Chain A
Amino acid sequence: MDCLDRYREIVPDYVGFRAIQSLPLYNSARINTLKIEREKLLERLEEEGVLFRSFEWYPLGLKLDIESPGKLLENLLGFIHIQEELSMVPPLVLDPLPGECVLDLCASPGSKTTQISQMMENQGLVIANEPSLARVAPLRSNCERLGVLNVAVTRYDGRNFPRGPFDRVLVDAPCSSEGRERRGPGVLSRCSRERSLDLGVLQISLLKNALRLTKPGGTVVYSTCTYAPEENELVVQKVLEDAEDLRLEKVSIAGLQECPGITEWNGKRLNDALSCTARYYPHINDTGGFYVAKIIKN
């Protein structure tokens, strides 16, 4: 018995889902186009005899068949950034454009901040917010190593981040991280329904504030690396209930198989529109676990 048991009814092929938890995840990295072109980077890795494979769904994502990719010269020089495969999904769903003003409400260590920055070609502005002093240092050093020039760092509690408006806001919320078991075995021992309910309260406040800070017509992406409905669909359902000007847009990435967000939990019906949100399971794409919702403010 552990905290995953309660997902037996919602996870397709539950046996496969359980079995893959003990398989470690391969290393992966994102090519940083602010500093190098994809072709050049691939050439370099080939020359050095590093074994790699591009993601099927994202040409800038690489699976690396080496033990310590962090030690590669390419990483030290900021040509690549070590990042989980699914962590590259939320920025693509956010879809920021060069010149826009974007808020990353829960930013450290900045994997998604820096991906957003590169999608914006170092133009416009990304505010990377991270309240924890200890976590501001890795956020800043990743931005500097990756050659980011369009990011400013703030340290507000995301629930009280004071002012916008922003074209797009990413809420990559603090969560119970159940989807990280393959990377850091043991996370599950700290998970429970109670913990998820507590986190849900924080997540709802963060998401509500994000929506307040968004321009009409703007986009908010909410993501977690957990399976708990209390931190995913129930959070999104709560903000939809409390506001009238919101709608969900379908989350789907070509080449990566998502499962629809759940619309029923513990015998209770949820908002049908939640099926537009996406659940990513480890046994389906051989990844970690993630949840992503895309909300448009009318």
Chain B
Amino acid sequence: MLRGFTHQLNSSTLNPGDLQLSVEHLTLSFGGVMALLNISLELYQSEILAIIGPNGAGKTSLLNCISGLYHPQEGHIYYHADDGKQHEITTLRPYHIAKLGIARSFQNIELFRHMSVLNNLMAGAHIHMRSDLFSSLIYWGKAQREQIEFRCFVEDIIDLLEIESIREKQVGELAYGLQKRVELGRALAMKPAILLLDEPMAGMNTEEKEDMARFILDVNEEHGVTIVLIEHDMGVVMDISDRIVVLNFGQKIGEGTPDEVRQNPQVIQAYLGEDQRAFTRK
């Protein structure tokens, strides 16, 4: 059964192409290790920005800075909200950044293992639930209405991700590929203005990757959600991203459309020997 999406999935009302996030001169080190060195980039509403680079290049660290898990030693991150306000998020706590509308998935799945798929998604919608403690304790009136309303919303996401048959399952028992899908669903339940995906297709077979790429495109094209995607599969990256940023040893060594990046000699150099065939494949 297919039904139309009845809920708003994207909480940002910026126009496509508007500046949404700017990262300015970010530097992050762990002891002697330079994870990020003077990184600047901009993110625009409704684009898919891919971040690529070899292992250890600093991709995850960059996402961690944006979602507030790491605090850089230098530099600033600004979030441009739809009310025209510019929020500096560099030093905010993660929950605060989440409330602004920045959602993410993790490289190593970080689901709530003992909850069902349904409850993981419902937990994802946490920031939108407002019923007070007392009405929650008696589960009457507002609290009950709100839970049912969000159940409808979450069912839309379940349809979108084609996980109807596993909605009652504990996520800890699910196969790896499905867990990745549930994690995407949990992030979508936040109604993200920006969605950060850290290697959502890692460890998947071709078919699973195609499904995941389709879901990501759906979310981006149908709902206009801005997406930052870390991915190693160059075929997928070249196919679905609007722009690409290339990191190597914590530094930005290239940026541009897939075609521009493909031609960039520095990038080709960095990837030499690693995944070059896929990379230069037309």
- The answer on A and B forming one complex is no
Binding site for B on A (CB under 8 A): none
